[in-house]
Amino acid sequence: MTRHGNPLTIALPKGRLEEQVREHLASRGIRFEFTDRKLVADDESGRFRFLLVKNADLPVYVAHGIAGLGVCGEDVVYESGHRFFRIERFSFGGTKMCLATHADFDPDGARHMTIATKFTRFARDHFHKRGVAVEIIKLNGSVELAPVLGLAPYIVDLVETGSTLRANNLVVREELASISVSMIANPAYYKIHYARIDELAALIHE
């Protein structure tokens, strides 16, 4: 307990987004460190408790109210199937969800689409809405290998700089969606803590 009461709990994703989120929060005076491989850290003021979780698990923690708030991409939220309140949409960390193939692949010669992806729900829903029959193969990472090794001619994956595609001689065939990074809230948690969460939202607003 601090003079502010229990800290607001905020889940952060391990990986490339973590540093960007930490820098943005530090620019608004919210400073914390995960020392000695600890996965829980309070900020210096004691108002916020940060939980460092695996990206794809973040919506699980927020949906169960273990973390009241969380920062993650819309891709992860969509795959989770959970619904949250969006507190803030950030300008950093944006990516594009793209359909890509090997540079030598001829899409016009293909009778049906076999797609390897981490984002099975997104890919299925996207092509279903367009009335395109697709076969989806679920992978958990290094999706760019699928066309190279012959598992599937198509991939649906996030493209940020494009360097992973280029390095594997793949090209974007279509941009399917822009994906932004948001701070989300468990709706019940928001109802209880809305005053402090609104204060936080104003503080981190860009």
Give the interface with ligand PRP as residue ranges (CB under 6 A).
141-144, 157-164
* Phi, psi torsion values for 11, nearest 5 degrees: -85, 135
Q: Taking Cα atoms as reference points, which of 99, 50, 98, 78 lies closest to residue 182?
A: 78
Toward ligand PRP, which CB reaches closer, 146 or 183?
Answer: 146
Q: How far is the CB of 95 from ligand PRP (least distance, A)?
A: 7
Token pair of 70 as six digits = 């969380």
Toward ligand PRP, which CB reaches closer, 27 or 142?
Answer: 142
Toward ligand PRP, which CB reaches closer, 50 or 119?
Answer: 119
Q: How far is the CB of 74 from ligand PRP (least distance, A)?
A: 14
Q: How far is the CB of 171 from ligand PRP (least distance, A)?
A: 12
Toward ligand PRP, which CB reaches closer, 9 or 95?
Answer: 95
For the chain, what is the total number of helices (H) and then of strands (E)? 7, 11
> CA 136, CA 119: separation in Å to the nearest integer?
9
181-185, strands of its sheet edge to edge: 40-42, 48-53, 8-13, 69-73, 181-185, 85-89
Q: How far is the CB of 104 from ligand PRP (least distance, A)?
A: 20
